[in-house]
């Protein structure tokens, strides 16, 4: 196995662990499914797995992980919008 293959296998393992850790943390109540870190686990995990899958031309799986990562990215943007909205509400003077 070449150094590149070892590196890519490591990326895929790390990506898989991130996906599973996010799932575990939500199911044990440590995070919610709306948590920023849950979405980050999903997004980064999907990206790492996509890199591995592209190298091995596993295009069907790439499509699944692009969708998975896209959904996580939407979740991250929703979280950031809520955070921005919440911070702006705090700054408004009260009458």
Tally of domains in the chain: 1
SS3 state of residue 32: coil
30 vs 36: CA distance, rounded Å: 12
Angle at 87 between CA 29 and CA 19, to 5 degrees: 30
Confidence of residue 95 (pLDDT cuts 50, 70, 90): low
SS3 call for 35: coil
Give the tokens for residue 65.
């992980």
Please give the Cα distance from 41 to 20 (Å, whole number).
Answer: 9
pLDDT tens figures, 3-42: 999 999 999 999 999 999 999 999 999 999 889 999 999 9
Q: Is the pLDDT of residue 46 over 90?
A: yes
**pLDDT reported for residue 39:** 94
Assess whether pLDDT exceeds 90 at residue 80. yes
Structural domain for 43, as ranges: 3-91
């Amino acid at each position: 196995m070449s150094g590149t293959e070892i590196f890519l296998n490591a990326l895929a393992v790390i990506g898989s662990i991130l996906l599973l850790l996010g799932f575990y943390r939500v199911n044990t109540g440590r995070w919610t499914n709306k948590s920023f870190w849950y979405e980050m686990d999903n997004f980064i995990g999907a990206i790492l797995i996509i890199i591995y899958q592209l190298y091995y031309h596993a295009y069907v799986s790439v499509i699944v992980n692009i969708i998975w990562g896209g959904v996580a990215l939407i979740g991250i943007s929703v979280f950031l919008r809520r955070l921005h909205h919440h911070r702006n509400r705090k700054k408004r003077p009260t009458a």
